[in-house]
Chains A and B, each alone.
Chain A
Amino acid sequence: MILVIAEQQDGVLNRATWETIAAAQQAGGPVTVAVLGADTAAAAAELAAADVAGVVRVDHEALRVYTLDGFVGSLAALVAAEQPAHVFLPHTYRTRDFAPALAVRCGAPLVTDCVGTKAQDGQLLFVRPVFQGRLLADVAVGGQAFVTFQIGAVRADSVVRGAVPAPVRTAAAGVDAAGIRQQPEAPFREAKQAVDLTQAERIVAVGRGIKGQEQIALAQQLASAIDAELGASRPICDAGWLPMDRQIGSSGQTVAPKVYIALGISGAIQHLVGMKGARTIVAVNKDPEAPIFEIADYGIVGDLFEIVPALIKELQG
């Protein structure tokens, strides 16, 4: 049995949860879904629509708000009781927080950021990107594995629905509320998100290849020429060359413009998850093996400092 750990916040399940259920269904064998919180009745009922063997509710007041210690303690008890062959989780920031300690406590390896599974010689292999997405690795584990799935690696709408709702049961929370060392405050957003890139129809985005802050103006000229918004990959915002609200990717905005022009962006996964929904993707990069070309519709291998001025001239001509 594969145990999927669903992720909910205030009763709302995220899309990554459905993607992970789909990955478990595709790996084969029965699937059980667990959901943790203070009142998971509604989320469990929603999960029961999937074609799974069952849904397990783990309810406790100490699980109302996510804490690392609370989730590790509770899930370690659940895994010990359920004895799943594997445990699948979405590769979210929350999972990244608690899953390594959980796997250690259960004495099993954690394979992170997987994009798929393969059956080979009677065992399940887990496929994950390494070296910044330039290579893929098939990973073997001895026995039970905890596995996280990259956001968007499996389509959420490929979840097979059951003919009838799956049975829902409850399990003991096994949480030591007094032992929780993290005291979280309410989530918040920074004062203002001045730029909403999510609605932009055209985006010109810059990455490390832009080399210096003074070169941003060149990308801005191209953006102005096609009435596009300017965006960036994380390192550009980390360096302070553009404000954080221009950042596209897992920690920034998720965009879906009609056209996305990536200048000097290699295509790290954290960036790709934020923009691969763009209808048409153009990549300009000096590195012919940059992962961005794997998802680009049009690619130009070359020096962006030659190509961008030529593009501006062509558009204005």
Chain B
Amino acid sequence: MNSVGKYFSDIFYGIKSLWKGLMVTGYYFVHPGTIVTQQYPENRKELKMFDRFKGEVILKHDENNFHSCNGCGICQLNCPNGSIEIISDSVPNEDGKSERIIDKHIYHLSMCTFCGLCIKSCPNDSLAWGQEFEHAVFNRDVLTKILNKPGSRIKKVPKEPKAPKPVTETVPTSNPAN
């Protein structure tokens, strides 16, 4: 008698559990408002990534085409797999001494692992994350980018005049000649 009871209770338990599952999917079927798909190529105009989105590494330029990279090469040292190549140049500056400027800041997007060490270690804070995410190309060479825009120069931060050392009366302590 027990097994007969168990037989029927198994059937009812099974049907009840299946019915609960059906209700979940049935609910989503009759509520098309729960659809989460974004219609991608049509919504490009409204599509805006978050501010900190890691699209690619860019060199920050302001509206007058100034950047702040001085070609020190610290980003190249810190990059784990050689995605950055710095080609710098020596030019004489206004004091007559030769100074290093950046010639080409080569960035291999195809090799970059987006670790962020170059951006974190730059002493002049000149690198940043860009928002561009559509990087699919037909030719891999296009992915090797030169980050400093043509015609851009480093923004010269005028040196602050050194504060004069406070003059102290030196009291002769002892005569070294003695």
Do the two shown chains form a genuine complex with each other? no
Residues of A within 8 A of B (CB): none
Residues of B within 8 A of A (CB): none
